[in-house]
Structure 1
């Protein structure tokens, strides 16, 4: 939809100067002149079939006079709405768009923007547009009514009847900007359109945002179940196109394919079509479980509470009856006042005369007036920081969990530590904490996707030689520096749109290449490592070509300077059944590489035909 794409507003001839602000009355006069003289120019933006690389159709977009403040569709339609001329403007937009589409003999479908309000108007329902289409000798089956939802829809039954009416005339229906409208998901469910357009917000940057990826993937699954074709709007980069195509989206539209033009192209750019023909898969953005919104609410435990009028003796009896109860919150009118620790109370009552003196008095005498209180929406990472930086008693007593200041329950530091540890273990499987490269789970998932697609690819297992002795000689800080050096070099020597770099753990890495020049990239990585790693050794070791350190058996030995070994396994269709088979072959190739001296690349060629 044109109005939802602000970048499109600048298309068309400009006079080089910004138009001065115009008054409402001036704009209404301009609008009347535009309507009277038919001063509208239709622009057409291609919609590409991502399976064939052929143009499927065009969306018709409208511009006002280039020298007018009403050149942009936003200003044009705003003026029409203020002057109660929307119906007249939409009618003229349809007329000039249809005329120019036929005049240029453009192939495929014409996606004609129509508002739901217009669809329900009597002149539209009585076949005004259909008559015009017949006059132009255009088959209605080539026209797709693209519903543009700019206002809330209140009468779904009436709109559903109208859509059925137009379908009976031969039109198809498209729904614009899915995910951005007032009620787009319900509209999809009610109307069951032949096409849905995903709002550009979810397409732009999809190659870097796992949330957008999941949204579009979910829409595609729903579309398949409903027999709806999905159109991804706003594709501006090759990386976005790669992901959209890989997800199985049927059609694409955006600047990367073609900008709107008064005279549009009849075919997509050759480089775009070629990219669709390659049997490659996209590199998906990774989602780290540690970054998910796990909050303090997950640690919530329900425990008995007391009030400020409860006696200390009553609290003592509660603790006596429940040996597992470690704290009692003091709550008044739903708001927490403090926390009574089991051990603190029992310790005080064990002292001479304390129970006799204070047993019948308020329990608040034994209450921590300043416990750690956190909102249930607080992330576990932030809660962990607060406990670590807070007073020691918070670690033992735990914390009170609230919602908008109201008491919900309590949480323990033990549960917090256990949950954080589990998150970190999960995170390490998805992304290495030192390099932030994807870990074993996404590595295996990516290989399985490649195997299922039948794509040819190369798995390179990268491992440091003599890394443990280097760690012993120079310390773990220098060891971390070397690990990060390797990670950086592997990133730099791979194509982020085609190649996948992962960190298996320790000093083991993997690069999964779809780049045709993968062997050159491996050699580049070895050369860069050889040059950069010299800065991590002292001059004496560099002069002697190695260093002394203890072997795993405790013997003092001389080790050559740390080097990088890469074992490469080219994978062709049918050679391997799963990522397990490939991992075994890659491990063997790495062993062969490590048999060589210095920085070495070994290529397993036995399964390459």
Structure 2
């Protein structure tokens, strides 16, 4: 609920300049140092208007939001000058403030000169706090600001509906990736691919990236791994009335450790039936004889319509008309009078994306990732041969890819691509149902957590991937089944009679290869030294593999649940043996 502050309360804040400026550090990841600060503003302490959203919403209800922004910047600039700081300062501006008729004085160099500041000190951070009605006017304002020496940043990329278009239109120096896509990114492959795509576009457009909302070392590790330029978040430094000049020892250590490698590309297990056809939503197409004015009215009466395809009378696509381009163009003076009666083909996009309906979802996803961001916003035309069949949207594509990832995760581990819990259980139940004897082995890495703590989870993932590939390569593919439960736990279901020899070969391979995953100094020591929370040092030898084996027959086991319990018990017994070990469960049941 928005707090409806009385006009007198807002007037008092403005008159007394009763605002609290805070400054949150922005970190240069590569240099491992503070690069800049973002200026944030708070209302009076112990007031319902202390929170920035409440403050600005209340000011807007009173019609004083532009004035509130201007006073806030004065307070920020004054504190920035008093601190005598040499680092850049990111300052928030709403689109309305940039386009306001009084922006000449609020943004002028004279205002900065009052605080002995220069335009080069300031990065204007454009927030998507209101609907942008005129992109052309905003672009013109930003161009003028750049000419004066200001740098431009786009805030919360990915949060609003028009952020990708803003990036394309304004060509900012920086884009800030919304914290939604950073939170838990180390456990979310969709967020990972989204941020990877942003970084790829940024590199090609000479834009620097800033990841917002970093709160954990795991999130920071991924951001560093993806080569994002800058980072911001509570892990690195909270908003504070004073400027933060240095990093904490913990953050400095995390940034300076060269222990993480770039993510390797992974194949995604998806159904072969996942094609663009499933994204199709039929949208009536415009014909060439329709006028621009008719198309404009079409958009005006349907707020959910982003694009209109144009086809000839045989249904062959000719182009695509964007809602935003149409409304932008007709919002300019005399444009409706000049072009309203002309054919809608006059301004249609002839370079739009036209996709065959049988194209695979992943192929389309990769194509859009490499193409112009406008295709995510405007959508794409779907055809059968040369015949128009419907439209597809970026939202529908993202939803489908997400569903595919969720479905795949149930059946295959995304790290190793080995079968997961569902197919493992189904395979065991099928063998029991057919009363086929087999040996079920639970394989578990020893000392894996200390390895992860010392070298980082990316190096740990490399070990897990190696184990998965090794197990798969050493079994008989015609008879034996290898699955990945998760983490460092694997299952082998043997029907081969020489299963015990294979297990011994696996253990010998682990013993020979595992030291290769350690740094030279640790190889020379025979393991790693880890300090616990109390400062006590512990030594852990090279990682090894414990295999708990269970001879299974339908006579003694009724389901995969019972087999899993027996495997777990055998694995625990194997882990009691020092080093690489094999323990065979001899129980009848």
**TM tier relative to shorter chain:** 0.5 to 0.7
Aligned equivalents of 2:25, 2:224: Cα separation in 1:
16
Change (3 A) 1:219 1:247: same
- 1:174 aligned residue: 153
Whether the aligned pair in 1 keeps the contact of 2:119 and 2:148 (CA below 8 Å) is: yes
- Quote the offset at 1:570 in angstroms: 2.5
Secondary structure in 2 matching 1:144: strand
- Quote the offset at 1:243 in angstroms: 0.9
Match of 1:265 among 244, 247, 253: 244
- 2:28 aligned residue: 49
- 1:204 aligned residue: 183
Aligned equivalents of 2:159, 2:65: Cα separation in 1:
22
- 1:373 aligned residue: none
Aligned equivalents of 1:161, 1:105: Cα separation in 2:
32
* Deviation sequence 1:110-134 (CA, Å, 0-9, x none): 0010011110113223465421211
- Quote the offset at 1:182 in angstroms: 2.6
Runs of 4+ in structure 1 off by over 6 angstroms are 285-288, 296-300, 422-429, 571-574
Match of 2:516 among 551, 559, 570: 570
Q: Are 1:433 and 2:379 an aligned pair?
A: no
- Quote the offset at 1:293 in angstroms: 9.8
- Quote the offset at 1:46 in angstroms: 0.3
* Deviation sequence 1:277-306 (CA, Å, 0-9, x none): 222215859977346795598799xxxxxx
Match of 1:219 among 198, 203, 221: 198
Counterparts of residues 194-343 of structure 1 (less than 5 Å): 194-281=173-260, 284=263, 289-290=268-269, 295=274
Secondary structure in 2 matching 1:289: coil
Aligned equivalents of 1:39, 1:142: Cα separation in 2:
25
Change (3 A) 1:48 1:506: closer
Aligned equivalents of 1:491, 1:432: Cα separation in 2:
21
* Deviation sequence 1:302-360 (CA, Å, 0-9, x none): xxxxxxxxxxxxxxxxxxxxxxxxxxxxxxxxxxxxxxxxxxxxxxxxxxxxxxxxxxx
Secondary structure in 2 matching 1:61: strand
- 2:440 aligned residue: 479
Change (3 A) 1:192 1:23: closer
Q: Are 1:504 and 2:465 an aligned pair?
A: no
Whether the aligned pair in 2 keeps the contact of 1:175 and 1:188 (CA below 8 Å) is: yes
Aligned equivalents of 2:219, 2:415: Cα separation in 1:
26
Q: Are 1:59 and 2:59 an aligned pair?
A: no
- 1:121 aligned residue: 100
The size of the alignment, in residue pairs, is: 368
Larger deviation, residues 148-157 vs 42-51: 148-157
Q: Which runs of 5+ in 2 are unaligned?
A: 280-357, 362-388, 390-407, 424-435, 475-487, 521-542, 545-576, 582-589
Aligned equivalents of 2:420, 2:216: Cα separation in 1:
30
Q: Which runs of 5+ in 1 are unaligned?
A: 1-20, 301-375, 380-402, 404-421, 438-474, 511-527, 534-548, 575-588, 591-597, 603-609
Whether the aligned pair in 1 keeps the contact of 2:26 and 2:35 (CA below 8 Å) is: yes
Change (3 A) 1:140 1:23: closer
Counterparts of residues 424-573 of structure 1 (less than 5 Å): 430-434=416-420, 479-480=440-441, 482-483=442-443, 486=444, 490=448, 494-495=452-453, 497-498=457-458, 499-500=460-461, 501-502=464-465, 503-504=467-468, 507=471, 552=498, 565-567=510-512, 568-570=514-516
Whether the aligned pair in 2 keeps the contact of 1:113 and 1:145 (CA below 8 Å) is: yes
Q: CA RMSD in A?
A: 4.7
Secondary structure in 2 matching 1:570: helix
Aligned equivalents of 1:425, 1:77: Cα separation in 2:
48
* Deviation sequence 1:229-282 (CA, Å, 0-9, x none): 101111111111111111111100000100000113211212212222222215
Change (3 A) 1:107 1:54: farther
Counterparts of residues 585-600 of structure 1 (less than 5 Å): 600=579
Q: Are 1:145 and 2:106 an aligned pair?
A: no
Whether the aligned pair in 1 keeps the contact of 2:411 and 2:419 (CA below 8 Å) is: no
- 2:10 aligned residue: 31
Change (3 A) 1:161 1:552: closer
- 1:159 aligned residue: 138
Whether the aligned pair in 2 keeps the contact of 1:209 and 1:285 (CA below 8 Å) is: no
Q: Are 1:103 and 2:63 an aligned pair?
A: no
* Deviation sequence 1:562-601 (CA, Å, 0-9, x none): 9785222436999xxxxxxxxxxxxxx99xxxxxxx8646
- 2:353 aligned residue: none
Secondary structure in 2 matching 1:255: coil
Secondary structure in 2 matching 1:479: strand
Aligned equivalents of 2:496, 2:96: Cα separation in 1:
81
Whether the aligned pair in 2 keeps the contact of 1:167 and 1:173 (CA below 8 Å) is: yes
Change (3 A) 1:292 1:204: farther
Whether the aligned pair in 2 keeps the contact of 1:210 and 1:284 (CA below 8 Å) is: no
Whether the aligned pair in 1 keeps the contact of 2:410 and 2:420 (CA below 8 Å) is: no
